[in-house]
């Protein structure tokens, strides 16, 4: 509890003691009673009175401070001294409870902010010097000691150790790194001294992007949040004028001015919109915080709301449902050896960053001499044309071979086929086989258990590979041999076919699938650790590559939205009922206190369940 909250708690205790003493010793009527009850009222309510006066001076008349001051001062004017002081006391109890709840929710978000690195160690003349990570340039070498947080993205040059990625992924299992491995900022080096070469400036590092995402998540409000904001602007002045009408109009016909004034004051206390104004944003804030602890970064409450309506989930295959780590096998090399076939394919693909190209380069197991490459031309969705050692080399799929007039041989092995042609003659092909992730089958099963009606896979792989993968996973539909533009068209068709008022989520790696991520109702980036484009392209970022987290994200979103609507219905229902009873003189000031403070506390307690939405 913060010092400000502790001071409010002390005031609540003092005021409660004074109020109890007044109840026992003070007279019930007359100006002495008014003066005595004004003491506990002033102790507990002076800040509310100050805020109301200040807001009125700034033209902001209709808020909860104004309602409480008018209601309690009016109660004093009608001789209800005990009720006036008690209403202000319970109002402050509710405000303190709300403040503590919001603080707890904020701490769940700020826990993610602890990934911010304090410094980077740079070696100068044999001595380590601490530097601001923002001042360390790309290519610099930094030293990461055991127990320190990795300050910048880079590649391990020397040393080995285990890296704790739990702050980013929510997973407790550490990762072992050795020379040549990538490390990303925000993780903790548990043991071993690491020398790392920086590959990105701080502003483009993983930790900087995550911090920016978290800091701005509150700006993306859900429809329910925007509704409550607009509702409060209309609701508060409406109930003020309603209370004024209740105090003035009936006495003109029935008399009993004090009785109707007392009803109007009860009406004002009941009408305070605290339960809605606080609990709805708090619910979304808690949902975002709870998801963050699971390694699921949500860019705002609006995306939680859309995700909760998902009925169709569309997947990219490579790197999403499969590991993206390929086995390369040379099949039927003609006129050249297997080693030459792999070498030519690797040289042709040496400028590509596609996972298949990287796997072929790994299969070469040697440095590429780029001086041997005279020309390079990439054809989107087909492959690569290059001049290597003055020979024209074509490496790609069936479509590339057809476009250059080379007769290719079909492959009967399950996997992605990469054909190689040299100087217009077919030289053979490679079979690239990928493995399913360990949790992919369980992920699809969990999606079905969470009410997802249709699962779809989009891939550029051959029909045989795509359909085999979809069958093993239990995916409803698979569309294969798609170019990047084809994927967008397919998502457009799926969007048109989905049930009304539901959403379509697309799950991809966030790099090659940026157009589809943007077009879907909700874009989810998989395996975003170290990815430049993923955090920018997607609405939700999973900080590891576990597809099972998708079902967890959907569960969190649905629980959060359910709690939001529970609070809206509960608060409006109770307040509406007590408002009607109060207008007819059937509700006391104590019932009004429950309708305001009691409902707020219950709604806030319910909203706090969002912090545990991932459990």
The torsion angles phi and psi of 223, rounded to 5 degrees, stand at -60, -40
Determine whether 252 is exposed, middle or buried from the number of CB atoms within 10 Å of its CB (0-12, 13-18, 19+).
exposed
> Of 341, 538, 518, which Cα lies nearest the Cα of 527?
538
How does 146-177 read in b/e, with b if 16+ C-beta sit within 10 Å? Answer: eebbbbbbbebeebebbbbbebbbbbeebbeb
581 touches 566 (CB < 8 A): no
162 touches 190 (CB < 8 A): yes
What is the DSSP secondary structure assignment for residue 318, as one 8-state letter? T
Catalytic residue among 164, 316, 434, 521: 316
202 touches 152 (CB < 8 A): yes
Q: Is 316 a catalytic residue?
A: yes
Helix or strand run (H / E) with residue 385? strand 383-388
The torsion angles phi and psi of 436, rounded to 5 degrees, stand at -70, 145
> Of 476, 475, 388, 414, which Cα lies nearest the Cα of 440?
475
Give the residue carrying structure tokens 């990762």.
Answer: 175
What are the C-alpha distances in Å from 33 to residues 27, 39, 40, 82? 5, 10, 12, 9
Q: What angle, 0 to 180 degrees and rounded to 10, lies between the N-to-C axes of helices 338-348 and 355-364? A: 140
> Of 332, 283, 266, which Cα lies nearest the Cα of 594?
266
What are the C-alpha distances in Å from 349 to residues 80, 337, 358, 434? 85, 18, 8, 18
Phi-psi label, residue 144: left if phi above 0, alpha if psi -120 to 50, beta otherwise:
beta
Residues 6 or more apart whose CB falls under 8 angstroms from that of 281 comprise: 221, 225, 228, 301
Euclidean distance between CA atoms 615 and 611, whole angstroms: 9
The catalytic residue positions are 316
């Amino acid at each position: 509890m913060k010092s400000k909250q502790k001071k409010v708690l002390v005031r609540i205790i003092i005021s409660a003691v004074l109020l109890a003493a007044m109840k026992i010793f003070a007279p019930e009527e007359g100006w002495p009673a008014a003066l005595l009850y004004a003491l506990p009222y002033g102790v507990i309510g002076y800040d509310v009175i100050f805020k109301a006066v200040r807001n009125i001076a700034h033209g902001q008349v209709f808020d909860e401070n104004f309602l409480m001051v008018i209601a309690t001062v009016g109660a004093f004017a009608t001789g209800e001294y005990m009720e006036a002081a008690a209403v202000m006391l319970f109002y402050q109890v509710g405000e303190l409870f709300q403040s503590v709840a919001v603080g707890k929710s904020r701490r769940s978000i700020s826990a993610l902010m602890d990934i911010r690195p304090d410094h980077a160690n740079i070696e100068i003349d044999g001595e380590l010097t601490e530097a601001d990570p923002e001042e360390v340039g790309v290519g610099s070498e930094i030293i990461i000691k055991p127990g320190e947080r990795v300050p910048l993205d880079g590649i391990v040059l020397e040393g080995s150790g285990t890296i704790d990625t739990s702050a980013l992924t929510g997973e407790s299992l550490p990762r072992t790194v050795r020379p040549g491995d990538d490390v990303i900022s925000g993780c903790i080096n548990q043991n071993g001294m690491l020398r790392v070469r920086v590959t990105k400036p701080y502003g483009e590092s993983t930790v900087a992007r995550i911090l920016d995402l978290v800091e701005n998540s509150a700006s993306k409000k859900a429809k329910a949040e925007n509704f409550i904001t607009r509702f409060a602007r209309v609701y508060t002045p409406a109930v003020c004028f309603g209370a004024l009408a209740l105090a003035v109009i009936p006495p003109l016909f029935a008399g009993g001015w004090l009785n109707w004034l007392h009803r109007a004051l009860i009406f004002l206390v009941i009408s305070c919109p605290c339960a809605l104004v606080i609990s709805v944003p708090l619910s979304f804030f808690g949902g975002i915080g709870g998801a963050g602890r699971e390694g699921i970064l949500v860019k705002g409450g609006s995306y939680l709301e859309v995700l909760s309506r998902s009925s169709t989930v569309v997947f990219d295959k490579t790197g999403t449902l499969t590991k993206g780590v390929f086995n390369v096998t040379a099949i039927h090399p003609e006129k050249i050896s297997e080693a030459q076939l792999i070498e030519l394919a690797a040289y042709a693909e040496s400028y590509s960053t596609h996972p298949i190209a990287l796997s072929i380069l790994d299969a070469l197991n040697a440095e590429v001499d780029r001086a041997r490459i005279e020309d390079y031309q990439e054809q989107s969705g087909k492959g690569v044309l290059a001049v290597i050692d003055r020979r024209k080399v074509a490496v790609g799929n069936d479509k590339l071979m057809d476009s250059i007039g080379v007769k290719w041989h079909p492959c009967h092995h399950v996997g992605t086929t990469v054909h190689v042609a040299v100087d217009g003659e077919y030289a053979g092909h490679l079979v690239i086989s990928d493995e399913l992730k360990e949790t992919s089958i369980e992920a699809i099963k969990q999606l079905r258990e969470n009410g997802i009606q249709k699962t779809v896979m989009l891939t550029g792989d051959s029909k045989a590979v795509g359909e085999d993968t979809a069958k093993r996973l239990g995916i409803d539909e698979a569309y294969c041999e798609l170019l990047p533009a084809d994927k967008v068209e397919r998502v457009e068709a799926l969007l048109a076919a989905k049930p009304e008022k539901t959403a379509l989520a697309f799950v991809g790696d966030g790099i090659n699938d940026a157009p589809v991520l943007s077009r879907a109702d909700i874009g989810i980036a998989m395996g975003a650790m170290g990815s430049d484009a993923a955090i920018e392209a997607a609405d939700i970022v999973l900080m590891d590559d576990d597809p099972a987290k998708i079902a967890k994200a959907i569960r969190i979103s649905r629980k959060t939205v359910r709690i939001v609507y529970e609070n809206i219905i509960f608060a409006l229902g109770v307040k509406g009922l007590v408002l009607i009873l109060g207008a007819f003189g059937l509700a006391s000031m104590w019932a009004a206190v429950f309708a305001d403070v009691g409902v707020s506390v219950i709604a806030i307690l319910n909203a706090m369940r969002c912090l545990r939405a991932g459990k």
